[in-house]
Amino acid sequence: MTNTISITDSLVPNPIPKSTIIRLENIFKIYGSGETEVKALDDVNLTIHKGEYCSIMGPSGSGKSTAMNIIGCLDRPTGGHYYLDNIDVAQMDDKSLAHIRNKKLGFVFQQFHLLPQLTALENVMLPMLYAGVNSKERSDRATEALTRVGLANRLNNKPTQLSGGQQQRVAIARAIVNRPVVLLADEPTGALDSRTTQEVLDIFGELNTSGITVVMVTHEPEVARQTQRIVWFRDGQVVHSNLTASDLSQLAVS
């Protein structure tokens, strides 16, 4: 008897496995001790797959920024495991964390955090300086990133010569210039008007379509609705890990 593969079998495509890029396992972050102890994160479990476009919502003080800072390797948890691209980074030292951050992550904040004395181009070139890229390539790649966010004609402007939306786009260019796997943004549209908010969201959408995993904290339902998946925090815990835009409309999420 011969072992043959039936035609039907060979036509069934293998399901493409979703690969995990971020996995938080039993993450705790505790500030202070005794009477003043605050459990900013209280046993958080969360998995995000490569290519997802995800927003994080929840009341003020619920632990969103604390979680983002840990995901972004800007801070370490008090307990638990954080696997970033399958490496447990939870207790890495500062130097190793900085290295991972530079290689794999881009970060955008509400308050742009650009260096005022540098031009847009110089601000975007900075992360590559730390990554040891030569000066010609730094300039080329920074120009390319600024072009990608629609600022090819603003390379030599300093932050004070740019609008809020333009400054946030410079910050996005800086976050993507090292070609991160994950782009993290903590209330990136919090300081922007609605038109500029949409410009920033359009850029995030394009970056996500090009393959970058995007995770964004927002207080604005109309911003969260444009992402594929909404994670809801309350009291340092993830209380909903996979809401959709329509869930948000139906639920008085609490």
Stretch that binds ligand ATP, among 58-66, 77-85, 164-172, 220-228 (CB under 6 A): 58-66
Provide the token pair at 142.
Answer: 């920074």
Residue 23 CB, nearest approach to ligand ATP (Å): 20
**233-236, long-range: CB < 8 A, 24+ apart:** 233/56, 233/57, 233/58, 233/59, 233/62, 233/63, 233/64, 233/67, 234/58, 234/59, 234/62, 235/42, 235/62, 235/63, 236/29, 236/39, 236/40, 236/41, 236/42, 236/44, 236/62, 236/63, 236/66
Half-sphere exposure of 204 (CA within 13 A, CB side): 33
Q: Which does 211 bind (CB under 5 to 8 A by kind): ligand ATP, Mg ion, none?
A: none
User: What mask, x for binding ligand ATP by CB under 6 A, covers residues 62 to 101?
Assistant: xxxxx-----------------------------------
- Map residue 27 onto helix, strand or coil: strand
Residue 70 CB, nearest approach to Mg ion (Å): 13
Binding of residue 61 to ligand ATP (CB under 6 A): yes
User: What mask, x for binding Mg ion by CB under 5 A, covers residues 48 to 67?
Assistant: -----------------x--
Q: Which does 123 bind (CB under 5 to 8 A by kind): ligand ATP, Mg ion, none?
A: none
- Map residue 44 onto helix, strand or coil: strand
Provide the token pair at 134.
Answer: 């030569």
C-alpha 117/C-alpha 28 separation (Å) is 39
Phi, psi at residue 200, to the nearest 5°? -65, -40
Binding of residue 189 to Mg ion (CB under 5 A): no
Phi, psi at residue 147, to the nearest 5°? -65, -40
Q: Which does 208 bind (CB under 5 to 8 A by kind): ligand ATP, Mg ion, none?
A: none
Residue 66 CB, nearest approach to Mg ion (Å): 8
**Strand 79-84, strand 20-31: pairing:** antiparallel
Binding of residue 69 to Mg ion (CB under 5 A): no
C-alpha 125/C-alpha 156 separation (Å) is 12
Q: Which does 40 bind (CB under 5 to 8 A by kind): Mg ion, ligand ATP, none?
A: ligand ATP
Comparing C-alpha atoms, which of 215, 201, 190, 193 is closest to residue 105?
Answer: 215
Residue 218 CB, nearest approach to ligand ATP (Å): 10
Q: Which does 38 bind (CB under 5 to 8 A by kind): ligand ATP, Mg ion, none?
A: ligand ATP
Minimal CB distance residue for Mg ion: 65
Return the residues of window 9-48 that contact ligand ATP according to CB under 6 A. 31-32, 38, 40
Residues that bind Mg ion (CB under 5 A): 65
Residues that bind ligand ATP (CB under 6 A): 31-32, 38, 40, 58, 60-66
